[in-house]
Amino acid sequence: MRWWQTGVVYQIYPRSFADATGDGVGDLEGIRGRLDHLAWLGVDALWLSPIFRSPMKDFGYDVADYCDVDPLFGTLADFDRLLADAHARGLRVLLDWVPNHTSDQHPWFRESRASRQSPKRGWYVWRDPAPGGGPPNNWRAAFPRGTPAWTLDAATGQHYLHLFLPGQPDLDWSNPDVRRAMHEVLRFWLDRGVDGFRVDVVHGLGKDPRLPDLPPELAAIPQSALNDHESTHEILRELRRTVDAYPENRVLVGEVWLLLARTHARYFGRGDELHLLFELPAAVLTPWDAGAWRERVADVAGRLDPIGAWPTWVLSNHDVPRHRTRFGSEAAARSAAVLLLTLRGTPFLYQGEELGLEDADVPAGRAVDPGGRDGCRAPVPWDGSAGHGWPAPPWLPWPPEPERRNVERLRADPGSILHLYRRLLALRRASPALHAGSLRLLDAPARVLAYERAAGPDRRTVLVNFGAEPARCPASGRIEVASDGAGEGAAYGGVLAPGEAVVLRP
């Protein structure tokens, strides 16, 4: 098995992780200074949300230079140091590559925009206005939601396409020069030693060349008939070849956001497209309900096992409210950690979930994100001091209770959710059943999800009580990890406490 199958990935949102320079925005040196903590926690790899040069209209997902680090975050030399120090601790590093669009400040777009005759005109999607004037078709942008996905460039009299902000023009991936340039970007970072990429908006890369009008309810990301064009798959096969040409199992993890879960599996191709992918939005929005999770686990296995594809599991990221907030209690967040770290597939953690962080309450006057996602991007509190380990007030407000929910305090408390994550990560690493084995759903009472993981003689049983009542659920074994820490090391007595999850060793 590959490292990206057996390992656990930790997503860092660099602006909000740790600030070394004292400007209130996190940076690479800040991350480097916290590597020992991440190694202590026990994750295997870090995924850094974009660190490239950017005007930050979409906080880094608008890239103005794919081969340089934004000065807010540091320099290429800082990145090299971070990568070396991470590798020295056995932590791999994935970058967040944004191929669907650039910033409107990227030199490619500036050149493309300069004239209709520009050699880079065809790098982006330019069209004449509709016959009566106005946008060339009815496609809608993600931000601001519902606005046209086209902006008129008055100087050249044509519109350019942007599925996101006007400051994020879409590249035209049918253009071989674009592909060549982007493959060079990948090689630039692969040559530097990165272990792979999280790939943004994979589902949008290929476009229907006719750019047809769509039924209005399907004309916007994410609903969207404008996603998921057949030509994306050839693009992915080429990317896969570039990445696979490198030694040591570099990886492509795609962000695929399609409403029908069953449409995602095609992005694995025949084992020649993405190595891993997020099945969004189901991945991050499945409610905290035993039936819903049972169905989802069965559905994922039913679709991916037959094609030899490996699932991912994720509960939170920088785009959606944190699951601690969605699920409504720390008890649920603790049981969710047991689930996330014992399912069959690669878990992705989002910074701060190991602290049980909730979304920040961001007053209107401090809101900055065009997509309304500030709450889940609140800074990580490192200690209980007034500045919580940040040398200057951070760019967003703190999440709730930073004086209690901070790294230093939770590290000192063996009963904390942070220690629960650490125990689960250690157990997962030590147990072939958990990091590589099969998964079999077991019969269980209505509000309980039960499954067995097995690899040869190594076996574990996982029981998750989603209900607010105690649940009788017969199984035998010693409690290895319990979401509330109760009874670890003792024999399981056949009853789960309200909201409790346990891992049993038969």
Residues that bind ligand NOJ (CB under 6 A): 58, 61, 98, 164, 200-201, 255, 318-319, 371
Q: Which two tokens stand for residue 308?
A: 């030899």
Tokens matching residue 358: 């909730």
Number of Cβ within a 10 Å radius of residue 162 = 26
Closest to 300 in 3D by CA, of 268, 328, 325, 270: 268
| Nearer to ligand NOJ among residue 78 and residue 200 (C-beta) | 200
Degrees (nearest 5) of the Cα angle 247, 248, 251?
100
414: amino acid identity, one letter: P
Nearest residue to ligand NOJ on Cβ basis? 61
**Which residues lie below 8 Å from residue 460, measured CB to CB, with a gap of 6+?**
342, 431, 433, 434, 452, 453, 454, 480, 503, 504, 505, 506
Parallel/antiparallel/unpaired status of strands 52-53 and 92-97: unpaired
Nearest distance from residue 286's CB to ligand NOJ, in Å? 18
Of 204 and 347, the one with the shorter C-beta distance to ligand NOJ is 204
**Least distance from C-beta 464 to ligand NOJ, angstroms?**
28
Cβ atoms of residues 86 and 78 within 8 Å: no
Question: What gap in Å lies between CA 300 and CA 304, rounded to an integer?
Answer: 6
- What does the alpha-carbon distance between residue 458 and residue 429 come to, in Å, rounded to a whole number? 13
Q: Min. distance of Cβ 143 from ligand NOJ in angstroms? A: 7
What SS3 class is residue 495?
Answer: strand
What is the C-alpha separation between 190 and 380, in angstroms, rounded? Answer: 29
Residue 162 CA to chain centroid, in angstroms? 22
Are 293 and 343 in contact by the 8 Å Cβ rule? The answer is no
What is the smallest separation between the CB atom of 24 and ligand NOJ, expressed in angstroms?
Answer: 20
The rounded distance, in Å, linking the Cα atoms of 312 and 283 is: 9
Answer yes or no: are the C-beta atoms of 503 and 338 closer than 8 Å: yes
Evaluate whether 491 touches 478 at the Cβ level (below 8 Å).
yes
Give least dist CB 61 to ligand NOJ, A. 3
φ, ψ at 467 (rounded to 5°): -90, 165
The H-assigned helical ranges of 216-266 are: 232-244
- 380 and 402 Cβ atoms separated by less than 8 Å: no
User: Which residue's CB is nearer to ligand NOJ, number 48 or number 98?
Assistant: 98
| Comparison of 15 and 423: residue with beta carbon closer to ligand NOJ | 15
Catalytic residue numbers read 200, 255
Distance in Å, CB of 331 to ligand NOJ, minimum: 29
Q: Which residues, 6 or more positions from 185, have their beta carbon under 8 angstroms from its beta carbon?
A: 66, 67, 97
Q: Are 82 and 31 in contact (CB under 8 A)?
A: yes
First to last CA, the chain: 25
Q: What is the dihedral of CA 405, 410, 415, 419, to 10 degrees?
A: 110
Q: What CA–CA distance (Å, rounded) separates 475 from 449? A: 13
Question: Over the Cα atoms of the chain, what is R_g?
Answer: 23
> Please, what is the minimum distance in Å from the beta carbon of residue 255 to ligand NOJ?
6
H or E, element range at 303: helix 290-304
Smallest distance, ligand NOJ to C-beta of residue 347, A: 18
The nearer residue to ligand NOJ, 164 or 382, going by C-beta atoms, is 164
